[in-house]
């Protein structure tokens, strides 16, 4: 998908179409999750500190992510992919590998191109968004092709043309070549994939080590035998929060760890999992990051057990200088639980309170004033008189709302008190509403592709 989060926001909000949109945490320590192509013109990029993004694009719209909506659209797209093949390997909410040959949907370059074109049309029809498709004989090349296809395009790398295509590209194009490795290679006089191949395997092993050197040499020769893996078992479940202001109070740190432990258990139970190893992550005021872990005698999804283990781990960490990030995770996952692990956890299974559900806003949004927590920028609201809209901003006891829907024209802006009884948060509207008598969507075979 193309600039996924930002594209969803533009499709949902007519007044933002064709304009710079930045999605991410809006607090002092927030980072950019996604920037629209209009915002990228100003140099805004994913993972950039939000403060830097605001300096580069001061007039862009800055919005808090709506992960629930993004996940629902992602599920629609993944469903389209699974209609093409049983081998679909999701990389994230907006990206996946698909083995078309395994699904019998493509057997040569022309059939692959036809399937890619149909897929792009289906994505637009179902979600209202654009998607880019990269077609190639390996995962590495398909990834490169999809990047070249963005935005809203299709690129096919024909068999036999791989080396010629890769040669002039930067070494940073290859998976596993980050800034540090790229700089190391540049100092050795290697800046392109062709120069990487010419350097030879022995030289790359000398420069980068055995494993990395062998892998990069193979990729420079367009060799990638990695299969598409349909299901990846989760190795761990974790949650973490970054705080606007360092936490110095040890009691507050302990309470945050307990809250994170409960959130982690909610995720475990939602996935029908349990785990044996409890992990605590602490990033201190000086950016040093510590992890501590404790392995239980058997898997559990009991919040009391996870809280107590996390508290014991916290006892071994010095937090006197302040804490900027905390995280709790569970690994060693299983699909069953072992009851009565410890005497203090004996008795009936502890249930998490129904109130205080896990929230989607970044931690910096939760830490702000109450009015901002209730009205995060970009989230959906409904007014009894004016109808559906979204929050443009809030502060000083006021909240500004633009009233529009995905299918409307750009709407009007109005400002209310944050405690206006006629204004309430609501769920997002679908980007492509189905008509009341929508016909049955054809199965894969009816569309001329195999499932």
Query: With contact defined as beta carbons under 8 Å apart, do 379 and 66 qualify?
Result: yes
Beta bridge partners of 135: 156
210-224 exposure pattern, b = at least 16 Cβ within 10 A, e = fewer: eeebebbbbbbebeb
Half-sphere exposure of 336 (CA within 13 A, CB side): 3
94 is in an annotated binding site: yes
Using the structure block, give the residue that is written with the tokens 């049309």.
121
Rounded Cα distance, 310 and 292, in Å: 9
Q: How far is CA 245 from CA 127, 325, 393, 408, 410, in A?
A: 39, 10, 22, 40, 37
- Which residues, at least 6 apart from 264, have a Cβ–Cβ distance to it below 8 Å? 237, 238, 239, 306, 328, 329, 330
Residues, the chain: 451
Active site residues: 95
Q: How far is CA 160 from CA 136, 163, 164, 226, 374, in A?
A: 11, 8, 9, 19, 56
Binding residues for Mg(2+): 94
């Amino acid at each position: 998908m193309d600039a996924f989060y930002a594209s969803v926001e533009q499709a949902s909000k007519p007044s933002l179409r064709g304009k710079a949109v930045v999605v991410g945490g809006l607090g002092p320590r927030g980072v950019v999750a996604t920037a629209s192509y209009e915002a990228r013109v100003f140099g805004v990029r994913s993972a950039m500190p939000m403060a830097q993004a605001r300096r580069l694009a001061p007039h862009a719209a800055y919005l808090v992510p709506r992960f629930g909506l993004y996940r629902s659209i992602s599920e629609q797209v993944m469903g389209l992919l699974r209609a093409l093949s049983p081998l679909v390997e999701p990389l994230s909410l907006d990206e996946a590998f698909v083995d078309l040959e395994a699904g019998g949907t493509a057997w040569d370059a022309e059939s692959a191109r036809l399937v890619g074109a149909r897929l792009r049309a289906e994505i637009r029809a179902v979600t209202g968004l654009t998607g880019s498709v990269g077609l190639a004989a390996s995962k590495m090349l398909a990834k490169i092709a999809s990047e070249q296809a963005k935005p809203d395009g299709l690129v096919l790398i024909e068999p036999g043309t791989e080396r010629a295509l890769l040669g002039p590209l930067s070494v940073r194009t290859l998976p596993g070549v980050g800034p540090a490795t790229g700089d190391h290679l540049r100092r050795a006089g290697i800046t392109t994939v062709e120069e990487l191949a010419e350097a030879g395997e022995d030289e790359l092993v000398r420069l980068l080590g055995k494993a990395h050197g062998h892998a990069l040499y193979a990729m420079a020769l367009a060799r990638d035998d990695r299969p598409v893996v349909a299901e990846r078992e989760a190795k761990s479940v974790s949650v973490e929060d970054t705080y606007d202001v360092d936490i110095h109070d040890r009691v507050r740190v302990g309470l945050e760890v307990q809250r994170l432990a409960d959130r982690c258990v909610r995720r475990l139970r939602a996935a029908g999992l349990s785990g044996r190893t409890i992990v605590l992550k602490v990033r201190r005021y000086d950016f040093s990051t510590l992890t501590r872990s404790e392995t239980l005698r058997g898997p559990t999804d009991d919040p009391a057990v996870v809280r107590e283990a996390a508290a014991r781990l916290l006892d071994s960490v010095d937090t006197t200088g302040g804490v900027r990030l905390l995280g709790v995770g569970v690994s060693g996952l299983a699909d069953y639980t072992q009851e009565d692990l410890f005497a203090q956890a004996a008795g009936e299974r502890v249930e998490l309170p129904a109130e205080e559900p896990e929230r989607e806003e970044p931690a910096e949004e939760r830490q702000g004033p109450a009015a901002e927590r209730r009205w995060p920028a970009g989230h959906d609201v409904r007014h009894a008189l004016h109808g559906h809209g979204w929050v443009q901003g809030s502060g000083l006891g006021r909240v500004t709302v633009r009233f529009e829907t995905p299918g409307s024209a750009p709407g009007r802006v109005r400002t209310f008190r944050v405690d206006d009884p006629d204004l309430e948060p609501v769920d997002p509207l679908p980007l492509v509403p189905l008509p009341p008598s929508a016909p049955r969507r054809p199965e894969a075979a009816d569309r001329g592709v195999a499932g």
